[in-house]
Amino acid sequence: MDEMWGRVYCKGTPCWLWHAINHDNGEVVAYVLGTRESESLWELLDLLADLNIEMVKVYSDDNFAYHEIIPYNVLQTGKRNTQKIERKHLTFRTRLKRLARKTICYSKSLEMHKILIGLFINTEEFKCQLF
């Protein structure tokens, strides 16, 4: 699991993309857009529970939300095991300029931001056909 930010309306209003991938094959399992607070992580965990995905081991960065919610024996932090999801971040930033770090591109509304990121993930990661 990891999170990355994109801009909505201006530089001062980030929107965080939380997503979980399968550590074995790098496929996106679930994603949520929200703040960097614990509520967004709870939403992601609820999605994983709805999909009957059991969390045996969770690899993530050192975000405080993971330490608050995920049990100590399940959570493993560090750069070594998050390479696949960080690579996924780079792909997202390259293909969606709204997620790039240094850009003048941003979404004018949170609703449009969620729609565009959702469309991208559903078409590229879940291989859904639009037409």
Position 90 scores a pLDDT of: 87
- Asked if the structure places residue 58 within a domain, the reply is yes
- Asked if the structure places residue 116 within a domain, the reply is yes
Position 93 scores a pLDDT of: 84
Alpha carbon distances (Å) from 103 to 75, 99, 106 = 34, 9, 8
Whole-number percent of the chain with pLDDT over 90: 16
Task: Report how many domains make up the chain.
Answer: 1
- Asked if the structure places residue 115 within a domain, the reply is yes
Task: Give me the mean pLDDT over the 50-64 stretch.
Answer: 87
Question: What tokens appear for 79 in the block?
Answer: 């750069």
CB 66 within 8 A of CB 60: yes
- Asked if the structure places residue 131 within a domain, the reply is no
- Asked if the structure places residue 130 within a domain, the reply is no
Alpha carbon distances (Å) from 27 to 14, 103, 106 = 25, 27, 26
* Residue 76, H or E segment: strand 75-77
62: domain range?
2-124
Whole-number percent of the chain with pLDDT over 70: 93
| Residue with more model confidence, 102 or 71 | 71
Position 47 scores a pLDDT of: 92
- CA 85 – CA 2 distance, rounded (Å): 7
Residue 109 pLDDT greater than 70, yes or no: yes
pTM listed for this prediction: 0.82
Residue 43 dihedral angles phi and psi, to the nearest 5°: -60, -45
- Asked if the structure places residue 71 within a domain, the reply is yes
- Asked if the structure places residue 59 within a domain, the reply is yes
**Strand-pair category, 10-21 with 2-8:** antiparallel
- Asked if the structure places residue 72 within a domain, the reply is yes
